[in-house]
A and B are shown apart, each in its own frame.
Chain A
Amino acid sequence: MTAHEKLSMAQALNRALRDSLSDDPTVVVFGEDVGPLGGVFRVTDGLTAEFGEDRCFDTPLAESGIVGVAVGMAMNGMRPVVEMQFDAFAYPAFEQIVSHVAKMRNRTRGKVALPMVIRIPYAGGIGGVEHHCDSSEAYYVHTPGLHVVTPSTPADAYTLLRESIASDDPVVFLEPKKLYWTKEEVELGVKPPSIGRAVVRREGTDATLIAYGPSVPIALEAAEVADREGRSLQVVDLRSIVPFDDETVAAAVRSTGRAVVVAEAAGFASVSSEIVARVTERCFHSLAAPIRRVTGFDIPYPPPKYEHLHLPGVDRVLDAVDDLQWEDS
């Protein structure tokens, strides 16, 4: 029987952790402030009380150590889920992630798998001060050996996290922190696999908006506004950046012949540039216009008073759509 509950994304993630801890005694959760406090975003709320300190515990304040210890625990029969408190605070763990987490399976010819999840609250839109709002996905997706996923809804957050914890590959799990408090009905049952599968969030016929994580709600809002203005926009949510679902994305763009990529990260050498390249290679003859990108500027993430100027917004998305060489304009 599947239960339906109205949950925020943070609550859905908490449920995913709780259900994984219940179902699998090898799952352990650790990081900074994830114990009695329940994490700075309360994603691990109540887990230490329910499962004990061996299953969910606070660690010293050292990200490389957290990820490195997780590597060892994963080598020795556990499924660690570690929390990096904020995107930019995960950088001390970068060497562990790229040199060990990503490569252990390959350098042992598959003998040593690292079934571990690195949860990272990422991106902006919450008025955070410096080092709290980075869109760091490009660093991870550029490293072979990692899966990189990012939910845009509470339901996907639950499913993707359950699946990531069950995966025998290491997963970098990027949580759009501005969506932690968005609520929806979540079905807490077994769902079809979503790692590696993009999803069409909204059907449309004139152009395709391709987005992931924090930019999906912007794309959906833009599609809503465009609809009132007589233009039908399709919205694709990647969910999984690695593996990348070329099939779904290319099919979507072929069906409309026009595309705009919406992503919050700086545009240069980014996930958005990769999407443009891949879609162009596959859909060139179906395209009526060059693919446009609406991304963050190539600047350090701006302070709270300026972030609205930096973040892709509905107007900027609709401007890009207007630029797609429409015959009637």
Chain B
Amino acid sequence: MTGDADHLLPSDSPVTLIDANGHPVADAGRALPDEAALRRALASLITARRLNDQAYALVRQGRLAVYPSSHGQEACQVAAAQVLDEGDWLFPTYRDTVAAVERGVDPVEALTLLKGDWHCGWDPYEHRVAPHATPLATQLPHAVGVAHAARLRGEPTVVMALCGDGGTSEGDFHEAMNFAAVLKAPVVFLIQNNEYAISVPLARQTAAPSLAHKGVGYGIPGERVDGNDVAALLSVLDSAVAKARAGEGPQLVEAHTYRMQAHTNADDATRYRDAADVDAWVGRDPITRLSAYLSIDESAFRAEAERVAEHVRDGLNRDVEPEPALLFEHVYARPTPQLREQAAQLADEIEREVASR
């Protein structure tokens, strides 16, 4: 045991490389990603924003059952996916549809569950993206397990595990951090601190100096980053991934961002926060600051964003014939005799109903 915890502590304030006005920050202590990387990030941010807003609109049109939007948090979503190699894994939460899409999951597939279907929609092995988890923080121990299995086989895999500020209060957050540290599992835990867990503000969630400080208790180095500065996110997450890959064990990153919209379309945020609080964050938008820095007119990237939006509309406006028999198909590798009986019963009921029409 070592009593020295200093090397585990995050910086005093979140790392920012490009400020809210689009100016590079002097003496940030880190180099800016190169221009090609930033242009690539900007293109993704614009598509990500369009996808968030398209999905939100599709809820109002009745084509999605629910959508927890990451509007305003797109820099975290994009950076989390872009710092990974092909062999790495991403573990998203329900608010991380955009991160899954950035990693390669087809956006229509990514919205399957939120459309109201019974499965996650994509093959987790195709892009190494786990199904998104709804029970908070429960996916974090899975991320540790995937990383530990890879490490036992000597594979260079790193796992990016996402969670929110509310999720850090769950027992599984604690257990995952502790297991990862003890097993030296190559996991990067990225907390998107968007200030709210539905209606409950961060001050009711924790008394810690910052969420990144929680790493100290596990022996995990923590870092804080401006969650609306994609340049800083790419830099900090890239270092964290590199350290995890190099065998330095798990890394914790807290990204300071803000949930610009309600928890989901079913939530009314005016009941617990002032519009002025939200307005204060408009000026820190990740897209406007990066396009200002790059002096790029966002419209250059609109065509791709619209193409994705159209693909999503087409996919979700298409009516899919329900297949009730499938509800019994994947409960076990082979349905039990009891499930075969129940599937036959349902098929018979449906057949008789159709015949009586």
Contacts and interface: CB of A to CB of B under 8 A. Distances in A.
Given A65-B141, A65-B176, A73 B146 contact: yes
Contacts of A112: 124-125, 131
A45 to B, nearest CB: 22
Contacts of A104: 131
Given A60-B178, A72-B146, A78-B149, A109 B330 contact: yes
27 contacts: A54-B152, A60-B178, A62-B179, A65-B172, A65-B178, A68-B176, A73-B145, A73-B148, A75-B124, A75-B130, A76-B149, A76-B150, A92-B171, A95-B172, A99-B135, A106-B119, A107-B120, A107-B131, A108-B119, A108-B120, A109-B326, A110-B333, A145-B332, A147-B332, A169-B333, A242-B336, A244-B336
A64 B124 contact: no
A34 B178 CA distance: 18
B124 A69 contact: no
Given A68-B176, A107-B131, A111-B125, A145 B331 contact: yes
B354 to A, nearest CB: 25
B123 interface: yes
B211 interface: no
The DSSP consensus for interface residues of chain B is helix
Nearest to A65: B175
Interface residues of B, number: 42
Interface in A78-101: 78, 80, 92, 95-96, 99-100
A125 interface: no
Interface in B141-163: 141-150, 152-153
Interface size class of A (residues with CB under 8 A): 35 or more
A300 interface: no
A150 B125 CA distance: 33
A279 interface: no
B138 A96 contact: yes
Contacts of B171: 64, 92
Given A106-B118, A111-B124, A168 B141 contact: no
B138 A95 contact: yes
A152 B95 CA distance: 47
A246 B141 contact: no
Closest 7 CB pairs of A and B: A72-B145, A68-B141, A65-B175, A76-B149, A72-B142, A243-B336, A69-B145
A64 B176 CA distance: 9
A304 interface: no
